[in-house]
Chain A
Amino acid sequence: MKRHLISAADLSRDDALLILDTADELAKISERSIKKLPTLRGRTVVNLFFEDSTRTRISFEAAAKRLSADVINFSAKGSSVSKGESLKDTALTLEAMGADAVVIRHGASGAPHRLATWVRGSVVNAGDGTHEHPTQALLDAFTMRRRLGSLDGRKITIVGDVLHSRVARSNVLLLSTLGAEVTLVAPPTLFPVSVDSWPCQISYDLDAVLPKSDVVMMLRVQRERMNAAFFPTEREYSRRYGLDRDRVARMPDEAIVMHPGPMNRGMEIAAEVADSPRSTIVEQVANGVTTRMAVLYLLLGGADLGGEIQ
């Protein structure tokens, strides 16, 4: 495994399986009365959040604290960042504080790559612009594996705003690494022009794909995309690409429904689908802590050997 976790492409199949297996063991910790492990005592994890994302920040914070790391939350609002301090100066500040890991959420694609060139600690990408969100993909894969077993040959359908989705990018990379067959479904306007070079299938027709899906993952669709003419109206989007009860009925009996949150109920997913037993949406949140514990442990739990862990 590499020193940083910036892209799901950083993970080999063995790396990914190691993280998921580690998370399997760590999941037991959250069932105990004492949920804390001493493993990262004395290590400092900085949560550097340039975008509001309370869910993701809390998830990383809980993961780091359960491993006994010291956690420093650094949010852009009200800090020197909002007064015009550059990302580089912020990085140098964190470096001076001795951050062993920096968990970064940033609105600009590639910001974690840049950060990694300025700090010695591990950089964990908690979502960068419209690029990637690798720990989300890991927790999704973890959730699928718990429900379905091995992902080899599993048919996974990801529906929605692929063009702007960091969740979709990371999931396509990770799930294909794990041997799953991914199909992306969206209106043509919400695919990148070169999506045919990705390791997945694409389709414009949700109804055709549903009966062959073991997993259907719905992506959040931002309403403002409508104003940029990516689709005509919310109603039309929902009708063609929303997951409602009728569409769920066309899925195989064992198939599950996922959503990375936050959801637009009634837009990409009907409320009754989100709350159904097939939905893993609440599990995904719990699994997020476990998976992030595994990532932090594997990045920080060993000797500092210049990046390589074995």
Chain B
Amino acid sequence: MNRFWRWSLQWGQPAMLYQRLLRLQPWVATLAIIFLLVGGYTAFWLAPADYQQGEVFRILYVHVPAAWLSMMVYGAMVGLALLVFIWQVTIAGWAMKTFAWLGAGYTLIALVTGAIWGQPTWGTWWVWDARLTSELVLLFIYLGIVLIFDVLADARAAARMAAILTLVGSVNLPIIHYSVIWWHTLHQPPSIRGLETSMHWSMLYPLLLMALAFLLVFVWQVVWHLRCRVLMEARHTPWLAKRLRSLNQSGENG
């Protein structure tokens, strides 16, 4: 337990974090690309067309993973917000900024693909029903958090303020999830509820592959961003200078 504890805490030290991110990056990148290729192939070629919607339904393979991710990223951000707020972990603040940016991106993808899907199937790009509106609110919350980080010069103050906004905004997560169950909406209820699904297996497994692919791409993005951030923040510290010197030497020798 003690060793695990020490290992966990080391993620909070920039030098250790940088080492681990660097080692992680090629693995995550390779896995992400493999899953994107395999998932994309099964989703856009192997999966059969839908009995009602025909080929249009395939946009689901981008829409649903993006929408899931938009909520999962926020959920993870609540954890980071607690680390910032209670334990004042500096790196959790850096990660929050990255998460907010990426989360906003995935929310936007979910909204845009949803509109493109809605036009041919429902007959409209947009309606103000509970599901669509609460997802739009999620985008605004993400953008608000991004704005706090961008506007406040003091990074620690920004992180704490963003943490509070994240906690307040987390109320929206259950609203998004249950909107299609609590209220009449134009958006249909979820096809996957726990282990039960109303989706044929030949269409379901490409969705699961694509969801995993999106998650891996997200992790890849986080690893990349966070690594750059650590470098930025550490540009005047001895450990980086030492590391650069050793890199230079090995370059000259080789």
Q: Are A and B physically bound partners?
A: no
Give the interface of A toward B (CB within 8 A): none
Give the interface of B toward A (CB within 8 A): none
